[in-house]
Amino acid sequence: MTSKHISVGIVGGTGYTGVELLRLLATHPAVELSVITSRSEEGVAVSTLFPNLRGVVDLKFSAPATKVLGNCDVVFFATPNGTAMKMAEELLAAGTRIIDLAADFRLKSATEWERWYGVPHVCPGLLEEAIYGLPEVARDKIRTARIIANPGCYPTAVQLGFLPLIEHGLTKPSSLIADCKSGVSGAGRTANLGALLCEASESLKAYAVSGHRHLPEIRQGLIKASGDNVELVFVPHLTPMIRGIHATLYAQVPNASVDLQELYEKRYCDEPFVDVLPAESHPETRTVRGVNVCRLAVHRPQDGEVVVILSVIDNLVKGAAGQAVQNMNIMFNLDEKAGLSPVALVP
């Protein structure tokens, strides 16, 4: 545990993940917020844009400048895809560690990155070095990492749900299905017709069925866990709520003698932010609202071969900003739970 305050910079502090980072870091006992950037809001007080932070954050937004950010111990990128990679090499050269909440460093293949994101990767040499920051898998590597690729929201919920089965070779890796629902905050804070109240309310729709950008990220993690190829049908849906992801996961597990409840409880018994619920439970997204927790339940309906795993997270917390703070805590040898509220917001 360090007694020194960590100097933190945030690039892109005006979106939903940015303000969530501010909410969590502003009261973190070991953090000093040093700089928050936004080209569009340069010179504007953070509390003007986000009145909920009045009396808590007294900084103004500034234009992103690598020389200034390079004085920080760690910089969070809460920016669109393609931003962090343009500044990463210079920041790392200055000795600043990076936690990217976008997708710039999640995929190990530059070719795969270009296929899914439509532009060449500007620093492909860093892809191999970057650590995929799912603490429940890579905690030891996160401790010494210079650059963390913070996992996406869907990939966090899906991987945590499937991992115990995959790691023990209990499921057919060609038969995985992830049926996922997300609140509209996952679409970001920019103007988006499909996320408007009148468009999203009282409705439910699937999207990106032919291929979502999180698919290669999920497959990459599951392939690494299994040591074999993994085929996954992943269908995301938009639901009329602000926060939350509910992943209903299906896997064929022919071995009916396995105590699945014990398997999941044992896998996550030492994980501070994964809660395996009692048998026959049905987790709800409202039970994780505002907290860095993934709640899981595992079922074998009618004692059949198909196992159903239910996984819920807050897409802005365990699916984004909270997991980023968890990674920071690990990187700087802090209490992993520091700054992360343990109690969800209900109602």
Tally the residues of the chain: 347
Which residue, among 157, 147, 112, has the nearest Cα to 249 in the 3D structure?
A: 157
Taking the C-alpha atoms of residue 157 and residue 119, their distance in angstroms, rounded to an integer, is: 27
Query: Token pair of 305, please?
Result: 């071969």
**Does residue 153 have an active-site annotation?**
yes
- The pairing of strands 97-100 and 147-149 is parallel
Taking the C-alpha atoms of residue 45 and residue 288, their distance in angstroms, rounded to an integer, is: 30
Alpha helices, H only, the chain: 16-25, 46-49, 66-69, 84-93, 110-117, 135-144, 153-167, 197-200, 214-226, 260-268, 321-331
Residue 340 · residue 43 · CB < 8 Å: no
Taking the C-alpha atoms of residue 284 and residue 63, their distance in angstroms, rounded to an integer, is: 40
Q: Which of 123, 153, 180, 294 is catalytic?
A: 153
In three-state form (DSSP H/G/I as H, E/B as E, the rest C), the secondary structure along 197-237 is HHHHCCCCEECCCCCCCHHHHHHHHHHHHHCCCCCEEEEEE
Catalytic (active-site) positions: 153
